[in-house]
Amino acid sequence: MESLEQIKARIETALPGAKVDMVPNPGPANQPSLLIDNEHAPAIAKFLRDDAALRLDFCSNVTGVDWLDRVRKKTVKVKKLVEGEEKEVDEPIEERIPGCLEVVYHLFSLAHKHGPVIIRMRTIDRGDGSRLPSLTPIWRSAEFQEREIFDLYGVHFEVHPDLRRILMWDEFEDHPMRKDYRDPDDYEWEPTPHDDVLARAKQHSASRPELDGAEALRAKGSVNRD
- Looking at the structure, tell me whether residues 139 and 215 fall in a common domain: no
Per the CB < 8 A criterion, the answer to whether 139 and 59 are in contact is yes
Task: Write the CATH number for 26.
Answer: 3.30.460.80
> Quick check: pTM over 0.85?
no
Query: What confidence score (pLDDT) does residue 216 get?
Result: 43
- Looking at the structure, tell me whether residues 12 and 54 fall in a common domain: yes
179 or 209, greater pLDDT: 179
Q: Is residue 93 included in any domain, yes or no?
A: no
Report the range of poorest mean pLDDT among 44-48, 180-184, 218-222: 218-222
Q: What is the 3-state secondary structure (H, E, C) of 84-132?
A: CEEEEEEEEEEEEECCEEEEEEEEEECCCCEEEEEEEEECCCCCCCCEE
- Portion of the chain with pLDDT greater than 70, in percent: 82
- Looking at the structure, tell me whether residues 165 and 224 fall in a common domain: no
- Looking at the structure, tell me whether residues 34 and 118 fall in a common domain: yes
- Looking at the structure, tell me whether residues 193 and 160 fall in a common domain: no
Query: What confidence score (pLDDT) does residue 193 get?
Result: 56
Q: Is residue 39 included in any domain, yes or no?
A: yes
Sign of CA dihedral 179, 184, 188, 189: negative
Largest separation between any pair of C-alpha atoms in the chain: 82
Beta partners for residue 36, in sequence order:
20
Q: Is residue 80 included in any domain, yes or no?
A: no
Strand 33-36 with 20-23, pairing: antiparallel
- Looking at the structure, tell me whether residues 58 and 150 fall in a common domain: yes
Residue span of the structural domain in which 59 resides: 4-67+99-169
* Omega prior to 116 cis, within 30 of 0: yes
Question: Phi first, then psi: what are they for 106, rounded to 5°?
Answer: -105, 120
The tens digit of pLDDT for each residue in 108-164 reads 999 999 999 999 999 999 999 999 999 999 999 999 999 999 999 999 999 999 999
Q: Which of 165, 59, 32 is nearest to 21 (CA)?
A: 32
Q: Which of 150, 172, 1 is nearest to 62 (CA)?
A: 150
Q: Which of 152, 186, 177, 187 is nearest to 167 (CA)?
A: 152
Q: Is residue 82 included in any domain, yes or no?
A: no
| DSSP strands (E only) in the chain | 20-23, 33-36, 58-67, 70-82, 85-97, 100-109, 114-122, 131-133, 156-158
CA–CA separation, 59 and 40 (whole Å): 18
- What is the number of domains present in the chain? 2
- Looking at the structure, tell me whether residues 135 and 191 fall in a common domain: no
- Looking at the structure, tell me whether residues 216 and 112 fall in a common domain: no
- Looking at the structure, tell me whether residues 60 and 123 fall in a common domain: yes
pLDDT band at residue 192 using 50, 70 and 90 as cut-offs: low
CA–CA separation, 99 and 181 (whole Å): 14
- Looking at the structure, tell me whether residues 123 and 57 fall in a common domain: yes
Strand 100-109 with 58-67, pairing: antiparallel
- Looking at the structure, tell me whether residues 52 and 136 fall in a common domain: yes
- Looking at the structure, tell me whether residues 224 and 114 fall in a common domain: no
**Distance (Å) of CA 88 to CA 16, 82, 83, 84, 160:** 39, 9, 13, 13, 53
